[in-house]
Amino acid sequence: MRLSIIGSGYVGLVTGACFAEVGHHVVCVDNDSEKVRMLRSGRVPIYEPGLEEIIRTNVATGRLRFTDSIEDGVEDSEVVFIAVPTPPLPDGKVDLTYIEKVAREIAGVLRGYRVIVDKSTVPVKTGEKVAETISRYNRAGAEFDVVSNPEFLREGCAVADLMRPDRIVIGANSDRAAALMKRIYEPFHAPIYITDINSAELIKHAANSFLALKISYINAVAAICEASGAHIDDVADGMGADKRIGRDFLNAGLGYGGSCFPKDIKAFIAIAEELGVPFGLLREVEAINAAQLDRFIKKIRDALWVLKEKRIGVLGLAFKANTDDVRSSTAIALCKRLADEGARVVAYDPQAMAKAAPELPGVEMRGRAEDVFDGAEAVVIATEWKEFRALPWASLKGQMVTPLIFDGRNILDAGALRQLGYRYTGVGR
Ligand code: UGA
């Protein structure tokens, strides 16, 4: 099928590349001409395992191309996906100005029937507004349908998530649009849930909020483990073995960050309140998440007493492993808090240093993980990169002034480190 994706950010780019990979003809549209030039020359603006390769092969077969013209994209496709940013406003509500602008622009160039699909994460009832907007600016009077098709990909494994999804959600109020959407997703062999538009929009916010709730729940239980001498890993394994609960997203740590959860939870709270159904449970999820970093910094302070002028190594800056994304990264917040208290922070991340550096002017970056141990009074694990487990822990101890390890992601073997003579502190361990 012929498809266009408006917005070549994380979701738009990966979605476009994966649609092309299964055989569709895809035009990716972005109003940033520099980005379009970069993509045309074979460079990919984000780090995502497997993405560069599928972009390269599909551009070569002619199934994937890039343009800065919405008209070009809309003309050359049966289905037009909107994947533009929906950033938060200061009050937590969602800024829908990009969606509205794109809806107007699509309306201005509509000539024949098109399905307009919203892929961005939006508040319930946005589809209705998009349809109203397109009707208002649709001078040619072309037929169209609006569909909601939320995205569930995770950064760091976005290509795999998209190619092998748990489910596809299609919110459509017309059979004609639903049938076209089903054809697009046939090659992915995933269960397809057809709902009305409002329900599809709600599924996205409800799912992300539930995942964040799982994380805050286990972090609250981790605090109880610390207070009682129990072990969070054992508790999470024992709970997670119940199929109704599941072990995923029960990893205690510094709390959730990233460009999705913090913003989506805030948005869902605002949406619920606007609809007259306050969602206090989610406020507690946020409060627990915020307290998680405070509690962790207190542990560092309790051990070192005064942080001023202490050299502290930080491993990890990305908001999670396998990405270079530092948006709302708890690791960045941690570095800032330590630096604010006067600590000399020395950091390393396998992928995220270039993106982190402008946010952390006072923090020294190092080319190798091993280098953050030099002269350090403590080393903190702030992102769950697997490779930190494989560091030569036995010899690194000798580089430190005092061998204190604060594992904010519970990725290290506490017993093994203690045997090597480290003083190890994790979360709920
Ligand atoms: C999240 C959802 O997982 C995706 O399904 C969704 O499509 C996406 O948001 C989105 O709305 O676009 P993502 O933000 O890429 O994906 O990251 P996650 O893997 O969900 O991790 C979010 C945060 O939770 C990270 O900071 C991670 O370190 C933390 N986390 C995750 C924990 O602290 N514990 C866990 O057990 C799992």
Q: What's the gap in Å between 155 CA and the centre of ligand 1?
A: 8
| Closest of 56, 27, 60 to residue 43, by C-alpha | 56
One domain, residues 240 and 156? no
The pLDDT-based confidence of 428 (bands split at 50, 70, 90) is very high
pLDDT of residue 47: 85
Q: What's the gap in Å between 74 CA and the centre of ligand 1?
A: 32
Rounded to two decimals, the pTM is: 0.95
Q: Last residue of some domain: 172, 195, 218?
A: 195
What is the side-by-side strand order in the sheet with 311-315? 364-365, 344-348, 311-315, 378-381, 404-407, 423-425
One domain, residues 206 and 258? yes
- Active-site position among 18, 28, 260, 335: 260
Place of tokens 């017993």: 415
One domain, residues 77 and 207? no
**pLDDT, average across residues 192-199:** 98
Q: How many domains does the chain have?
A: 2
| Closest of 385, 329, 383 to residue 359, by C-alpha | 329
One domain, residues 205 and 233? yes
pLDDT at 98 over 90: yes
Q: How far apart are CA 115 and CA 181, in angstroms?
A: 9
Query: E-assigned strands of 19-126?
Result: 25-29, 64-67, 79-82, 114-118
Q: How far apart are CA 190 and CA 185, in angstroms?
A: 8
Q: How far apart are CA 5 and CA 122, in angstroms?
A: 17
Query: Measured from the CA of 156, which atom of ligand 1 is nearest?
Result: 15
The pLDDT-based confidence of 132 (bands split at 50, 70, 90) is very high
pLDDT in tens, 103-124: 999 999 999 999 999 999 999 9
**pLDDT, average across residues 77-106:** 96
Q: What's the gap in Å between 212 CA and the centre of ligand 1?
A: 8
pLDDT at 410 over 90: yes
Q: What CATH number has the domain bearing residue 357?
A: 3.40.50.720
| Closest of 322, 323, 249, 321 to residue 289, by C-alpha | 249
Note down the domain range covering 123. 2-195
One domain, residues 250 and 399? yes
Structure-token pair, residue 291: 């307290």
pLDDT of residue 6: 98
pLDDT at 328 over 90: yes
pLDDT at 143 over 90: yes
Known catalytic membership, residue 260: yes
Q: How far apart are CA 348 and CA 192, in angstroms?
A: 42
One domain, residues 123 and 217? no
Q: How far apart are CA 355 and CA 319, in angstroms?
A: 11
Place of tokens 């037009």: 80
pLDDT in tens, 216-269: 999 999 999 999 999 999 999 999 999 999 999 999 999 999 999 999 999 999
Residue 223 backbone phi and psi in degrees, to 5: -65, -35
Determine the residue of 215, 286, 322, 385 to mutate for testing ligand 1's pocket, defined as the one with the most ligand atoms within 8 A of the Cβ atom. Answer: 215
Q: What is the CA radius of gyration of the chain?
A: 23
Using CA positions, which residue lies closest to atom 8 of ligand 1?
Answer: 154
